[in-house]
Chain A
Amino acid sequence: MASQSPTTESGATGATGASDEKQDYLTGWAALTRLMNEGLSWSGNERNVCYLNLGDGRFVDASFVSGLDFADDGRAAATVDWDGDGDLDLWLRNRTGPQLRFMRNDLPSGPFVALRLVGVESNRDAIGARVQLTSDGRTLWRTVTAGDGYLSQSSRWLAFGLADATRVDEVVVHWPGGAAETVTGIEVGRRHVVTQGRGRAKAVEPRGLRLAAAAPPEAPVARLSPVLLKEPLGMPPGISGLLPGGSGRRARLITLWAHWCEPCLEELDELSRGYDALREGGIEVVALSVDPPEDIPLADRLFSERILPNFPGEPFARRTASPEVLETIDALLSHVLGRHDDLLLPTSLLVDPVGQLQLVYLGPLSTERLLDDARRWALSPPIDASRRSLYPGRWYFRTPRDLAGLAADLKTRGREEDARFYESLLRMRSRVRSGGR
């Protein structure tokens, strides 16, 4: 945001030109947003911070010594005595991978008290209760919350570290909306359940648990990123024109390659060797070269030498992508992936027998994977839209694709016919919606 933000909605600050200032500000945000989408680091690689309370009103930075100073993009932290040893462990939620860390507190065992409150008149979870615990002349206050920090909820067990105190003098619970209640039966070094109105706490069996220290494994390097479409997408004339005619009830894989792309050639080698199995499995492959015209002879030669001999029978259909077709593909990829700069090769599109795009693959695809995916997503009756995912899970909401945005993008790229295809899909969609229910 760039520079100097306007100080009022109208941007009027006197000396400087008001609308210019506002325009600069908006331009700054737009530039920043673009940079973020392109992968800009912005206050990235920052280490988590931890301060120790010195007990005299001051804190000291102990980030490194705490062991918590990961350079993750940290968002949320939740406390819980996960292993039941009397000190607070932490779950950390990150934007970066690993998205989740469990941090075991390695404090040597010392005096503590842990309480879980159960409301009877008050809300059952006792959210909002405040507890004062007096020990050795100190009074410690804790409260039960649900939702604080940021996007996080810690354990409702209240933890009282007692430094070196050996006994608890008094515990008073201030129940939300209820009276204050003095609770007896609290023992140092134990966990207790305190039920509203009982007056006496109930100790819980201790839990001796020793978890190993073990950092999460490195993320495996994935060469292939399959992207299943949340909702299938009809292919416009620019793409369907590439598909071999008369393919009947077959799924089609369009794989984009170039002569200089070794992973592409590896993929073509793999798919050509498995082509009998693929055809048997109801899949046809179209190898779409994205080489410029002057490189086509070279691409042809490479294909003939390295790929063609692998086919026992009829080889793949082969096409060459015109700049116009590449524009359409680029628009489709931007629409599906949201964030898309340069075409990554190989990229493949799995189209089902009725011409709907089901999956996009970034990276080299194996025959086995293709067979599995085609069977599940392209050649079987459509499954419940809420379950369209490569991972076990369900969509709660259906959000329709932004076909208007796609059509507009195609138009700006001069792909009028393909744009009209999506405009007509849009019209059909609204007709179904208005007539359907």
Chain B
Amino acid sequence: MARADPSRDDWISEAWQRRAADVLDRLAVALEGPWPGERELAGLLDVEARAPGRPAVKSRPTQLAGGFRVQRWKPTIGEDLPAHEWLGRWAARLGKGDSNRVAFKIVGVDLGDGGKPSTRVRYEAVGRSRGRLVQHVGEWSVGWSPVTAEAEPRIVSIETATVDEVQRDGPLFADATAAVLPRELSERPELARGGEYWYGRIDAAGEPNLMGHQGIAVGDVNGDGLEDLYVAMGSGLPNRLLLQQADGSVRDRAHEAGVAWLDDTKGVLLVDMDNDGDQDLLVAIGPTIVLCKNDGSGIFDRFVSMRASTPAAYYSLSVSDFDLDGDLDIYGVRYVKISYGVSVPMPFHDADNGPTNILLRNDGKDRWADVTEQVGLSQNNTRFSLIGSWMDYDSDGDPDLYVANDFGRNNLYRNDGGSFVDVAAEAGVEDQAAGMGVSWADYDEDGDFDLHVTNMYSAAGQRVAYQKRFKSATAADQRRQIQRHSLGDTLLANQGDGTFRDVSESAGVRMGRWGWGGRFADLDNDGDPDLVIPNGFLTGALEDDL
């Protein structure tokens, strides 16, 4: 995790890897230009540096739906080449464009007891070759010159592990924001600027913060057959109701519709809560869920407030008819008792000092009952929760609930006819890590719904947590739990018998960076769900410390 000064804290490996990372950063710059020569690489490579020659096995390219061409390169073997020559060939595969981008990240360090250090280095290299977009993602094992206090680390050897190459004629998605948002909306600082800008420019009495936990919901608000969008905004900035027009562009009608709330708004949903045929709006404002009732024309004219008995703010909302009585009930999760950083998770890897999540049962006629305790959802209910997502994972006809918790294990509440039992452990889905997002889909087409959990992937966390010195006094299983924390996303394959198998590694989906709302979606219309993972925690003015 964050460390102000690794060298001071005597994390020798971290201090050394920083210097090695500098060398790799310079190597990346050299490789971004076409055909790096010996000169550009001098100073980074040992004069004797070698790398094994050609890739021995190159899988046959797979042509995927949507114009993607995928090829997997197996580890290289064969005669050695001088490393600079090998790197030149490597870079040429990206093409000679001027938009090439190469990035290295050290994900493992072994200082080698007195001998030569080695690192596992993940790389991403992208560019344009013959008019096509090319992307290489792979891993190197890099050998280094011996560790000394003075001399800069130099690369002695490079060996490759698997490399994935993906090509396409152009990007699958085009940014069409400006075609949909009218200019008077997209240029406004409220939308054009982010949380980092606004925090400090909004009256603190509205309790703004810089975290950016504001959601979105899609639904047809005015019943014209076109999907609209409701956008939650941070404190002091009005929420937006973007009504789609016939030409696909939007008009903001939040104010006219009565839902331009200025309060810090997190989870939002557009759903028919009273079964009258229109989309009502749920907004989470602090510890209150406000049900805004649609009059049928897209105007929200009645408001029902449901305030939790403790002050912790709601984050994600989700609805489901858990008791199968024909109307929708609300599950709201809460993350921190007071605020991030102030409410410190204890213990870090399995925190159970968070606020409670709440299930509100719809009793009709705008009456709501907090039935959390009554239906058994109080088990493991003091976590740092970010989303609860409903799915009938056991195909028994009633919706079950999976809750992603930061700083610890997640919950799977099996619905047994309206009451719940937390079966996360026996189902194999505790996934003790930094749970942020949940998505369900039958990714393997075996007839049941599988589970993707967005977690945190942190190269720094992985490097540090796997050093021998880290928590050496701690029991091995706790050590593993803490190591797990920064390992990344999880894919849990439903086995159809009430249990799941963790296939994250074999499926190759660990790396989702500091992810939030990862979700399955069939992006290329080939029938099977792909994954998109929005990520990144805080981009600020100060340099990243990690």
* CB-CB under 8 A for A163 and B525, given A102-B175, A148-B389: yes
A320 within 8 A of B: no
Please pick, from A33, A96, A225, the residue contacting B342 in the complex, using a CB distance under 8 A: A33
Q: Is the CB of A106 within 8 A of B172?
A: yes
Given A73-B212, A230-B236, CB of A153 within 8 Å of CB of B191: no
- Which residues in B have their C-beta under 8 angstroms from that of A143? 391, 440, 449
Q: Are A151 and B534 touching (Cβ within 8 A)?
A: no
Q: Is the CB of B530 within 8 A of A150?
A: no
Asked if A50 meets B523 with Cβ closer than 8 Å, knowing A29-B344, A41-B542, A76-B534, the reply is yes
Chain A residue numbers with a CB within 8 Å of B143 are none
User: Which residues A131-170 have CB closer than 8 A to chain B?
Assistant: 132, 138-141, 143, 145-157, 159-164
Does chain B have a CB within 8 A of A261?
A: no
Are B177 and A215 touching (Cβ within 8 A)? Answer: yes
List the 7 shortest-distance A-B pairs measured between CB atoms, nearest first: A95-B212, A74-B534, A67-B171, A147-B318, A161-B525, A151-B215, A5-B348
Query: Are A393 and B261 interface neighbours, CB within 8 A?
Result: yes
Query: Is A148 within 8 A of B217, CB to CB?
Result: no
Q: Is the CB of B445 within 8 A of A57?
A: no
**Cβ–Cβ contact B399 & A128, under 8 A:** yes
* Min CB–CB distance A199 → chain B (angstroms): 20
Q: A216 to B447, alpha carbons, bound, how many Å?
A: 41
Is A45 among interface residues, defined by CB-CB distance under 8 A?
A: yes
Q: How far is the CA of A397 from the CA of B201 in the complex (A)?
A: 20
Q: CB within 8 Å of B: which of A41-95?
A: 41-55, 57-68, 71-80, 82-83, 86-95
B114 at the interface (CB under 8 A from A): no
B318 to A145, Cβ gap below 8 A? yes
CA distance A397 to B259 in the complex (A): 13
Considering the complex, give the chain B residue whose CB is closest to the CB of A340.
B200
Within 8 A of A (CB), among B166-197: 166-168, 170-181, 183, 186-187, 189-197
Q: Which of B187, B275, B318 contacts A146 (CB 8 A)?
A: B318
B428 to chain A, nearest CB (A): 17
Within 8 A of B (CB), among A85-121: 86-108, 110-112, 119, 121
A35 beta carbon closer than 8 Å to chain B: yes
A55, B319: Cβ atoms closer than 8 Å = no
- Alpha-carbon separation in the docked complex, A121 to B170 (Å): 46
Q: Is the CB of A44 within 8 A of B212?
A: no
A297 to chain B, nearest CB (A): 34
Across-interface contacts of B515 in A (CB, < 8 A): 49
Greatest chain B CB density within 10 A among A76, A128, A399 is at A76
In the complex, what's the smallest C-beta–C-beta distance from A25 to chain B, in angstroms?
7
Q: Is the interface of A mostly helix, strand, loop or mixed?
A: loop
Query: Residue among A45, A64, A139, A218 with the most chain B CB within 10 A?
Result: A64
Residue A231 is within 8 A (CB to CB) of chain B in the complex: yes
A77 surroundings in chain B (CB, below 8 A): 517, 519, 521, 532, 534
User: By the criterion CB–CB under 8 Å, are B517 and A338 in contact?
Assistant: no
Q: Give Cα distance in the complex from A83 to B180, angstroms.
A: 10
> Once the chains bind, are A112 and B525 in contact (CB under 8 Å)?
yes
Partner of A55, one of B267, B526, B539: B526
Q: Please give the distance in Å from B146's CB to the nearest CB on chain A.
A: 28
Please state if A216 and B536 are interface contacts (CB–CB under 8 Å): no
Which chain A residues lie closer than 8 Å to B70 at the CB level?
A: 52, 54, 60
- Kindly provide the distance from the CB of B252 to the nearest chain A CB, expressed in whole angstroms: 9
Of the 9-residue stretches A10-18, A346-354, A416-424, which lies at the interface with chain B? A10-18
**Inter-subunit contact B538/A149 (CB<8 Å):** no
Per the bound structure, the CA–CA distance linking A4 and B474 in Å amounts to 10
Interface presence of A239 (CB below 8 A): no
Most chain A Cβ neighbours within 10 Å, of B172, B528, B536, B546: B536
Beyond the given A7-B478, A217-B183, please list 13 additional residue pairs across the A-B interface where CB-CB is below 8 A: A28-B1, A36-B341, A53-B528, A86-B525, A121-B326, A123-B321, A151-B316, A161-B65, A211-B179, A215-B177, A230-B236, A336-B205, A397-B263
The yes or no answer to A209 lying at the interface (CB within 8 A) is: yes
- Residues of B with C-beta under 8 A to A72: 534, 536
Residue-wise interface mask of B (533-546) relative to A, using a CB-CB cutoff of 8 A (1 in contact, 0 not):
11111111111111
Within the complex, the shortest CB–CB distance from A161 to chain B, in Å, comes to 3
Interface-facing stretch out of B150-158, B226-234, B363-371, B373-381: B226-234
CB-CB under 8 A from A176, the residues of chain B are: 320-321, 324, 399
- Choose from A138, A154, A219, A340 the contact partner of B519 (Cβ within 8 Å): A154
Number of A-B contacts (CB under 8 A): 639
A401 interfacial contact with B, CB 8 Å:
yes
- Nearest chain B residue, comparing its CB with the CB of A389: B262
A213-B176 contact given A40-B545, A152-B215, A389-B236, CB 8 Å threshold: yes
Contact A82 B248 (CB under 8 A): yes
A177–B397 CB distance below 8 A: yes
Least CB distance from A163 to B in Å reads 5
Contact residues in A for B342 (Cβ distance below 8 Å): 33
Q: Evaluate whether A44 and B538 lie within 8 angstroms (CB atoms) in the complex, with A50-B533, A146-B318, A220-B189 already known.
A: yes
Residue of B nearest to A46 (CB): B536
Rounded to whole Å, the gap between the CB of B3 and the closest CB of chain A is: 7
Contact with B along A240-260 (1 / 0, CB 8 A): 000000000000000000000
Cα separation A58 to B530 with both chains bound (whole Å): 10
B207 contacts the other chain (CB 8 A): yes
Question: Which chain A positions have C-beta within 8 A of B522?
Answer: 53, 88, 159-161
> In the assembly, what is the distance between CA of A53 and CA of B444, in Å?
9
- With a CB–CB cut-off of 8 A, which chain A residues contact B441? 141
Complex Cα spacing A39 to B263, Å: 23
Q: Which residue of B lies closest to A110 (CB)?
A: B525
B392 contacts the other chain (CB 8 A): yes
B344, A97: Cβ atoms under 8 Å?
no
Given contacts A40-B540, A127-B321, A146-B319, contact A57 B507 (CB under 8 A): yes
Most B CB within 10 A of own CB, among A111, A121, A139: A139
Contacts known (A128-B399, A145-B389, A389-B262); A122 close to B215, Cβ less than 8 A: no
Report if A29-B544 is in contact (Cβ < 8 Å); known contacts: A43-B537, A50-B523, A110-B65.
no
For B349, the closest partner residue in chain A by CB is: A5
Distance in angstroms from B99 CB to nearest chain A CB is 10
Q: B327 — which chain A residues lie within 8 A by C-beta? A: 123
A83 pairs with B321, CB closer than 8 A: no
- Expressed in whole angstroms, the minimum distance between the Cβ of A99 and any Cβ of chain B is 5
Which chain A residue lies CB-closest to B167?
A65
Given A36-B538, A61-B166, A127-B319: A151 touches B530 (CB 8 Å cut-off):
no
B536 to chain A, nearest CB (A): 4
| Cβ contacts under 8 Å, B331 to chain A | 147
Are A107 and B215 in touch, CB under 8 angstroms? no
Question: Which chain A residues border B341 with CB–CB below 8 Å?
Answer: 29-30, 32-33, 36
Alpha-carbon distance between A280 and B449 when the two chains are bound, in angstroms: 70
**Provided the pairs A52-B530, A176-B399 are in contact, do residues A128 and B212 lie with their beta carbons within 8 angstroms?**
no
